[in-house]
């Protein structure tokens, strides 16, 4: 007999401390992935049971040593309101699902017991062996609520464990309790609410026809068959017909179900919870909200938080980024010199290693940003930001919840788009995904820096503002304005199918747990390196091939020509000229020449054309390509000053003046502000929207926007 | 005759009892979040520009919702 460890699902309301508990139970023994078939992030981990038996012969005793813990998205009920939440019921209702649990741990916020128990009664009615983990007893305490866990366990007839997910208190007892129920197997529940009470015939029919022995599961077949992937078209049609035959009104039934469940919970909660005095949110939460939601101070506070984020992402992250950059350059140099030179060496160093370097350089920024966003979410402040931003966001067809992806977009659109999953309105989610790439991500920063340094004087204006910094800020603002305006524009065209909801629970303020934060940072970095890394590395290799080879012997001919012409030049100048000539006759050079007519109105030549094409895959390639084109050094370990000096010297063959005039540079800046030049983002949008339609519209739209604004800028300034 | 009062008509700090819901689809969500008929609510805070609002539900937690959402909750 093949023995597999039991699967335990962790379920709870949002803000009940579920993720913290998950981290406590599994530590670092966790994996992140996707639930099969959908792109909702799935976290699983190994749960070790405490040693109860002495070492013996494990084959015979079969004592459970561990279980697989699956973290399900936070939900208020098993009737999902967003795509994220859909996963939970998919797993619970389908015994064939690979993640279908053997037992369930329901985490409940003790300070809001009645509402948290609603979900518990639904899970229990589905027949799962259940453990109730009572969390946040300290918050309940501060709200003058005393919860009697023993009484509650007797009332609910399940093990109830008092825990503190933040300090780890009670976790061992919870492990014991889970171990106790995980071998139980499903049983016929004593229903809190048996749908057969009022719909005996209909429920009976469904149970019989679909071989179900649980009435509540039968009800789920009726209410949610549309979204159940494990039912086929005929089954769905059959259920639909039964609903009509029996005149079953789903909305009415569900409203009735919720009210009845609460009515039955009320006396039970009253017996287990003693209220001493007036219960209210902790005083410091109320006091902090007076500031955070204040018409003036609320925005001031938010602005300070934004400034802190920018400071961290742009100033503090610079140090580790410099080390990484230097480290990559050194590693490339060392490999180049150590390995025998040749094509393989070049591919490894200039192609692969430079590509990997281009990915890891962004790790500090991603880690800082998502660490800070995680901090804001953990502390409860993010919910306040959503509240104060909702009205503004709504004007553009978005939702207060869109703020998080937009802020995250400043580091990288890939993880930012993944955070849109918490927006439960699919329309607002789509709009947010659509405009997030317009926020200036960190990959645009090197382009901005070089071009600004080229044409904007390093002067102080108004006594204290640096002109270059001001222009940089302007570009970021332009991205934000572009994002909001585009959202508004598209909200006029995309039909709104469902009404917009805001309804959001405001959690109490909490001190973040640093270990938890570390895990969040690690997760976001890992997903960035895997998601964006794959594409950037692949493109770097392709780019290297295109720039290193040309049709026929063109490259060799160009090289000989240059050498013959420049016999008297210094070897360094000659080398540079050779590299430049080789590039011009390579495949990449041909591509650049091919698109030159299209980009001439923007003021660009074929060299910029190559950079445009290569950075189409990922913007960060731009600077590297420019340094290759202008043959500085020869590897991607770029040095901004040398590139700048080289760019300044570049002449426009047609005018004889400098190539990088303010008109050309600003035109390029405009182009990069708006153009969605990032394969990883396209891939993520494809995955999140389930098709090529939206990523392609998005690409066409942003390219159009970029082209037109770059053209207008060039024409105005020249 | 008094017009029907809704949650969105409450003044700051004012308490009321939820009576019924006028939006069926929204009522499901609100019920699940613990806004039950007979439940006491109190207007705790409003966001800048008066929307959304923050409401204390049943003395145990704070719910934020938009004015138009609050207007679907009839109170007395």
Question: How many Cβ pairs within 8 Å bridge chains A and B?
Answer: 115
Residue A133 pLDDT: 95
**A444-472: average pLDDT:** 82
Q: Of A88, A87, A80, A82, nearest to A106 (Cα)? A: A88
- What is chain B's percent helix, strand, coil content, to nearest 5? 25, 35, 40
* A68-125 pLDDT tens trace: 999 988 899 999 877 778 888 989 999 888 889 999 999 999 988 999 999 999 999 9
Across the interface, whether the CB atoms of B29 and A388 are under 8 A apart is answered no
Helices A381-395 and A283-292: angle between axes, nearest 10 degrees: 30
User: What is the nearest CA distance from B74 to chain A, expressed in angstroms?
Assistant: 16
Which pLDDT score, from 0 to 100, does residue A510 have? 84
Task: Give the pLDDT band (50/70/90) at residue B1.
Answer: very low
The pLDDT, as a whole number, for residue A41 is 67
Task: Identify the bridge partners of residue A161 per DSSP, sorted by sequence position.
Answer: A133
Give me the pLDDT at residue A70, please: 92
Highest mean pLDDT among A200-214, A536-550, A626-640: A200-214
Helix (H, G, I), strand (E, B) or coil at A340: coil
What per-residue confidence (pLDDT) applies to A34?
Answer: 58
User: How many Cβ atoms are within 10 Å of B1's Cβ, its own excluded?
Assistant: 2
Q: Is A631 helix (H, G, I), strand (E, B) or coil?
A: coil
How much is the pLDDT for A638?
A: 46
In Å, how far is A660's CA from the nearest CA of chain B? 46
pLDDT, tens only, A460-483: 777 777 788 888 889 999 999 999
The answer to whether the CB atoms of A390 and B28 lie below 8 A apart is no
pLDDT at A2: 45
Give the tens place of pLDDT for each residue, A381-439: 989 999 999 999 989 989 898 998 998 888 888 888 888 877 877 888 899 999 999 99
Of all residues in chain A, what percent carry a pLDDT higher than 70?
Answer: 92
Cβ contact A42:A32 at 8 Å: yes
- ipTM computed for the complex: 0.91
State percent of chain A over pLDDT 90. 28
pLDDT score of A38: 56
| Closest chain A residue to the Cα of B53, Cα to Cα | A387
Are residues A143 and B60, on separate chains, in Cβ contact within 8 Å? yes
β-strand partners of A66: A48
The pLDDT confidence band at residue A687, using thresholds 50, 70 and 90, is confident
* Tokens of residue A423, six digits: 């927006």
Chain A positions touching B37 (Cβ under 8 A) are: 259
Rounded CA gap, A152 and A124, in Å?
A: 14
Mean pLDDT of A326-345: 86
CA distance A56 to A65: 13
In DSSP terms, A105 is beta-bridged to A10, A131
Q: Are A717 and A662 in contact (CB under 8 A)?
A: yes
Q: Which of B44, B47, B65 is the closest to A503 by Cβ?
A: B65
Identify which of A198, A234, A231 has the alpha carbon closest to the alpha carbon of residue A216.
A198
CB-CB neighbors (< 8 A) of A278 in chain B: 59
Distance CA A620, CA A72 (A): 36
At residue A625, the pLDDT reads 73
Q: Is A101 helix (H, G, I), strand (E, B) or coil?
A: coil
Distance CA A504, CA A401 (A): 9
Sheet holding B53-57, edge to edge: A504-506, B61-65, B53-57, B40-46, B15-21, B73-75
Mean pLDDT of A159-183: 89
The residue count for chain A: 718
- Tokens linked to A526: 């890992």
Residue A32 confidence (pLDDT): 63
What pLDDT is stored for residue A631 in this prediction?
A: 55
What is the pLDDT of chain B when averaged over all its residues?
87
Q: Which of B7, B64, B69, B70 to mutate to test the interface with A (most CBs of A within 10 A)?
A: B64
Query: Helix (H, G, I), strand (E, B), or coil: what is residue A132?
Result: strand
Q: What is the pLDDT of residue A312?
A: 82
A259/B32 Cβ within 8 A: no
A14 near A377, Cβ under 8 Å? no
DSSP state letter for A348: I
- Say what percent of chain B tops pLDDT 70: 96
Residue A488 has pLDDT above 70, yes or no: yes
> What is the number of other CB atoms lying within 10 angstroms of the CB of residue A201?
11
CB within 8 Å of chain A, chain B residues 4-63: 24-34, 36-37, 44-49, 51-52, 54, 56, 58-63
| Lowest mean pLDDT, pick from A26-35, A220-229, B31-40 | A26-35
Q: pLDDT tens digits for A131-140? A: 999 999 988 8
Average pLDDT, chain A: 84
For B24, name the nearest residue in chain A, comparing CA atoms only: A251
Between CA A370 and CA A612 the distance in angstroms is 29
Question: What per-residue confidence (pLDDT) applies to A633?
Answer: 43
pLDDT of residue A56 exceeding 60, the answer is no
* Rounded (10°) angle between helices A215-224 and A250-272: 140
CB-closest option in A279, A295, A503 to B69: A503
What is the C-alpha to C-alpha distance for residues A96 and A158, in angstroms, rounded to an integer? 26
Residue A216 pLDDT grade (very low, low, confident, very high; cuts 50, 70, 90): very high
Test mutation, B32, B43, B69, chain A, max A CBs within 10 A: B32
Mean pLDDT (whole number) for A670-686: 88
Nearest to A391 among B47, B54, B60 (CB): B47
Largest CA distance in chain B: 33
The C-alpha of A307 sits at a distance from chain B's nearest C-alpha, in angstroms, of: 20
SS3 of residue B75 by DSSP: strand
Residues of A with CB under 8 A from a CB of B: 76-77, 79, 81, 111-112, 114-115, 118, 143, 251, 254-255, 258-259, 262, 278-281, 286, 289-290, 293-296, 298-299, 383, 386-388, 390-391, 394, 400, 499, 501-506
Tokens for A219, please give them.
């009800």
Judged by average pLDDT, the poorest of A21-25, A283-287, A708-712 is: A283-287
What's the Cα-to-Cα distance from A619 to each of A16, A147, A622, rounded to whole Å?
40, 56, 6
Q: pLDDT tens-digit profile of B33-59?
A: 888 888 899 998 888 888 899 998 887
Sequence-ordered strand ranges (E) for B13-60: 15-21, 40-46, 53-57
Contact in structure between A118 and A77 (CB atoms under 8 Å): yes
* A73 and A88 Cβ atoms separated by less than 8 Å: yes
At residue A354, the pLDDT reads 76
In tens, the pLDDT along B5-36 reads 999 999 998 999 999 998 888 888 899 888 88
Cis peptide before B52 (omega within 30 of 0): yes
Per-residue burial over A664-678, b if 16 or more Cβ lie within 10 Å, else e, is bbbbbbbbbbbbbbb
């Amino acid at each position: 007999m093949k023995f597999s460890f039991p699967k335990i699902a962790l379920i709870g309301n949002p803000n009940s401390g579920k993720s913290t508990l998950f981290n406590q139970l599994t530590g670092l023994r966790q994996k992140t992935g996707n639930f099969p078939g959908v792109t909702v992030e799935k976290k699983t981990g190994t749960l070790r049971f405490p040693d109860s038996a002495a070492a013996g012969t494990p084959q015979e005793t079969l004592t459970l040593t561990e279980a697989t813990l699956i973290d399900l998205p936070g939900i208020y009920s098993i009737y999902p309101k967003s795509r994220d939440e859909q996963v939970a019921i998919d797993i619970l209702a389908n015994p064939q699902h690979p993640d279908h649990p053997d037992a369930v741990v329901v985490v409940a916020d003790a300070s809001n017991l009645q509402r948290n128990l609603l979900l518990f009664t639904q899970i229990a009615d589905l027949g799962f062996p259940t453990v109730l983990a009572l969390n946040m007893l300290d918050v309940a305490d501060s709200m003058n609520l005393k919860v009697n866990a023993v009484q509650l366990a007797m009332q609910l007839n399940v093990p109830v464990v008092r825990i503190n997910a933040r300090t780890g208190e009670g976790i061992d007892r919870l492990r014991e309790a889970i171990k106790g129920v995980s071998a139980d197997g499903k049983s016929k529940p004593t229903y809190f609410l048996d749908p057969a009470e009022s719909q005996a015939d209909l429920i009976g029919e469904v149970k019989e026809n679909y071989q179900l022995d649980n009435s509540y599961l039968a009800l789920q077949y009726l209410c949610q068959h549309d979204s159940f992937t494990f039912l086929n078209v005929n089954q769905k049609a059959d259920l639909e017909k039964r609903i009509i035959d029996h005149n079953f009104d789903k909305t009415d039934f569900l409203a009735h179900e919720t009210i009845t469940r609460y009515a039955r919970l009320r006396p039970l909660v009253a017996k287990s919870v003693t209220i001493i005095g007036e219960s209210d949110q902790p005083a410091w939460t109320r006091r902090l909200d007076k500031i955070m939601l204040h018409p003036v101070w609320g925005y001031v506070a938010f602005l300070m938080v934004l400034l802190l984020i920018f400071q961290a992402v742009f100033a503090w992250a610079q140090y580790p980024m410099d080390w990484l950059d230097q480290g990559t350059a050194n590693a490339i140099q060392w490999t180049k010199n150590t390995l025998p030179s040749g094509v393989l060496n070049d591919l490894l160093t200039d192609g692969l290693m430079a590509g990997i370097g281009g990915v890891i350089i962004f790790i500090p920024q991603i880690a800082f940003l998502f660490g800070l966003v995680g901090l804001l979410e953990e502390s409860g402040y993010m919910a306040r930001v959503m509240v104060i931003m909702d009205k503004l966001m709504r004007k553009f067809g978005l939702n207060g919840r869109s703020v998080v992806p937009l802020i995250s977009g400043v580091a990288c659109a890939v993880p930012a788009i993944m955070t849109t999953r918490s927006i439960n309105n699919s329309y607002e989610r789509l709009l947010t995904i659509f405009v997030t790439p317009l926020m200036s991500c960190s990959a645009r920063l090197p382009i901005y820096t070089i071009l600004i340094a080229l044409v904007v004087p390093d002067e102080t204006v108004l006594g204290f503002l640096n002109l270059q910094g001001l222009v940089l800020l302007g570009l970021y603002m332009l991205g934000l304005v572009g994002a909001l305006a585009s959202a508004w524009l598209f909200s006029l065209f995309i039909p709104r199918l469902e009404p917009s909801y805001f309804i959001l629970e405001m959690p109490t303020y909490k001190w973040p747990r640093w270990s938890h934060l570390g895990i969040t940072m690690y997760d976001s970095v890992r997903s960035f390196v895997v998601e964006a890394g794959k594409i950037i590395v692949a493109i770097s290799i392709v780019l290297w091939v295109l720039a290193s080879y040309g049709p026929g012997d063109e490259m060799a001919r160009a090289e000989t020509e240059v050498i013959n012409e420049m016999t008297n030049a210094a070897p360094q100048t000659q080398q540079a000229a050779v590299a430049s000539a080789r590039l011009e006759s390579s495949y990449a050079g041909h591509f650049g020449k091919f698109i030159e007519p299209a980009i001439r109105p923007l003021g660009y030549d074929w060299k910029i054309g190559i950079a445009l094409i290569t950075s189409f895959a990922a913007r960060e390639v731009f600077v590297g390509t420019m340094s290759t084109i202008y043959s500085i050094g020869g590897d991607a370990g770029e040095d901004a000053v040398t590139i700048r000096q080289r760019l300044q010297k570049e002449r426009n063959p047609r005018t004889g003046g400098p190539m990088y005039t303010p008109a050309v540079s600003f035109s390029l800046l405009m182009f990069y502000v708006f153009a969605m030049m990032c394969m990883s983002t396209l891939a993520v949008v494809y995955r999140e929207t389930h098709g090529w339609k939206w990523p392609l519209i998005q690409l066409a739209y942003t390219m159009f926007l970029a082209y037109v604004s770059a053209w207008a800028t060039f024409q105005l300034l020249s | 005759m008094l017009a029907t009062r809704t949650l969105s008509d409450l003044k700051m700090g004012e308490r009321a009892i939820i009576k019924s819901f006028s939006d069926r689809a929204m009522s499901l969500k609100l019920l699940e979040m613990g806004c039950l008929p007979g439940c006491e609510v109190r207007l705790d805070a409003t966001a800048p520009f008066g929307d959304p609002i923050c409401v204390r539900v049943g003395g145990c937690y704070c719910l934020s919702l938009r004015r138009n959402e609050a207007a679907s909750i009839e109170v007395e």
